[in-house]
Structure 1
């Protein structure tokens, strides 16, 4: 039976594609044998990118192959995360994921769930903090809350963008304490902090690492941090829990692989990442940037991400996103 030329070409292309896919299958016992791509869903130069590059450099020594960082931005990180989610599960394309992975569903920004990945290891955690000008009329978080109660929606609270973890941190605090703020979104934490230092807003709900220069210059002061423990950058500043406010809100980041990646490959990455995090390169960067290493192995990281997803899915629809 004779087939039209276009049908034969399609058949040949499908056959070749199938052969290529078979060629991509990796024997976990010999992994890795080729270069690994590490997708970072944010622009180069940020904390996520810098941490990923530091770990990638050390992972190369552990795994014996190049680990190349690929910055794939857009959609509040969703574009890069989709890229990893749709990659072949052979270990040669992995990705960095931030806390926003657990927030997309609640914010209705992207159809991405934590269950769509295999988890390699969590790297770090970054608590939110309430920071104000050094000459602000409040010296602790309770005075700040009292002022907000007496002046509804008058405190201009800057964040790194609508729907970001730092925006959610501010709204969660307002809901917990039954007060209202006037939220001011910026394109990132840096311009929010600059606006605070310029006297254009009253406070920010970003991480201690992002206001470090203002602390060093004496222009800013931190009223409270929103982590489980005090932050090394501001060890004298209490947590919200210490102040009787049962609220924890932190950013975090770690590495994932496409769902279906063999356990042996996941375990190889987990060991390489753990060893990389213990090296001076990573430790020095974390200290300099004010990032708190918070290693979790694959299973614990997966459970943590799913818990965070459930938490944010319940929290986000209930909070007042504007005031």
Structure 2
């Protein structure tokens, strides 16, 4: 009886110890996530589904919730090259419950039109990545090089595609026209998905976009990349030259970050400044964003505010030079 009693007691003590160990582990697991005042955070993009910012946000949210103690949802507020999304954001509370996916588009749109709310109504939160741009065509197109495209444009009509009138892609194509002296039509849409369709059906000779939004078409051998618009070739695209190697002195760098309504509290910006380096160091997410050729480029809140202000002033001059914005 004593043996049975001792075994029962041992089992009880073991169960109690295991329970205490598990209970102690729960706070430790919770502490791995950064505390946040909202259970749900909405990430807004001006991109239509399948566009670059839409893909970026949806890929990131799978990992972000492992770092910040909240759930994340993506909301598409497309229209007006970001104008509708900025107006929507300006009406939100600056409490950290809603953010907007920033790219150069929201700066260009702000410079190119009189808006009810422009980039100055938003507060840059932080930057995550730089996103290399590429020029691509459909796989069965007659163009093997960027020179082939320019030759067609010089000889007759050529249509080039970009997502959104106020996008970095559109401005880059305008720059390319000015550098090369060709007179191609630059056709814009409300997202990279629509632009892709028009490349695949032959409406557009070429388009400009990010590697991450081309991934499925590249894997399915539906598109061919003619040039990358970075300073150096991309490891993900062996054998594809830069625009500079193709004789066009042009390289661009697209930033990807977040912004909130003006007046974000310090505890919110601090939480994100702590979270983003942890997010970018996640091995699983790193494998995903490297496969999409995203270059990690964390810029913390205070420096990102300065970065965006400087970029906005710099690009206003560029828009005037390429004739998109008239001199006043």
TM over 0.5: yes
Q: Count residues in correspondence.
A: 290
Q: Which residue does the alignment assign to 1:25?
A: none
CA RMSD between the two structures? 3.3
Counterpart of 1:188 (choices 181, 187, 191) is 191
Q: Which residue does the alignment assign to 1:38?
A: 42
**TM-score normalized by the length of structure 2:** 0.72
Q: Which residue does the alignment assign to 1:98?
A: 103
SS in structure 2 opposite 1:170? helix
CA distance in structure 2 between the aligned counterparts of 1:171 and 1:85, rounded to whole angstroms: 30
- Asked if the contact 2:134–2:210 (Cα under 8 Å) also holds between the matched residues in 1, the reply is yes
Per the TM alignment, residue 53 of structure 1 is displaced from its structure 2 partner at its CA by 4.1
SS in structure 1 opposite 2:38? coil
Q: What pairs with 1:9-28 in structure 2 (closer than 5 Å)?
A: none
Structure 1: give runs of 5+ residues left out of the alignment. 1-29
Instruction: Classify 1:172/1:210 alpha carbon distance in 2 versus 1 (closer, same or farther; 3 Å).
Output: same
Residue 158 (1) aligns with residue 147 (2): no
Q: Which residue does the alignment assign to 1:198?
A: 201
Q: Which residue does the alignment assign to 2:28?
A: none
Instruction: Classify 1:36/1:119 alpha carbon distance in 2 versus 1 (closer, same or farther; 3 Å).
Output: farther
Residue 75 (1) aligns with residue 84 (2): no
**TM-score normalized by the length of structure 1:** 0.73
Per the TM alignment, residue 197 of structure 1 is displaced from its structure 2 partner at its CA by 3.2
Q: Which residue does the alignment assign to 2:24?
A: none
Which structure has the greater CA radius of gyration?
A: 2
SS in structure 2 opposite 1:125? strand
CA distance in structure 2 between the aligned counterparts of 1:196 and 1:70, rounded to whole angstroms: 26
Q: What pairs with 1:220-231 in structure 2 (closer than 5 Å)?
A: 220-231=223-234
SS in structure 1 opposite 2:67? helix
Counterpart of 1:246 (choices 231, 246, 249) is 249
Structure 2: give runs of 5+ residues left out of the alignment. 1-33
Instruction: Classify 1:143/1:212 alpha carbon distance in 2 versus 1 (closer, same or farther; 3 Å).
Output: same
97-106 or 36-45: bigger deviation:
36-45
Q: Which residue does the alignment assign to 1:107?
A: 112
- Asked if the contact 2:136–2:226 (Cα under 8 Å) also holds between the matched residues in 1, the reply is yes
SS in structure 2 opposite 1:206? strand
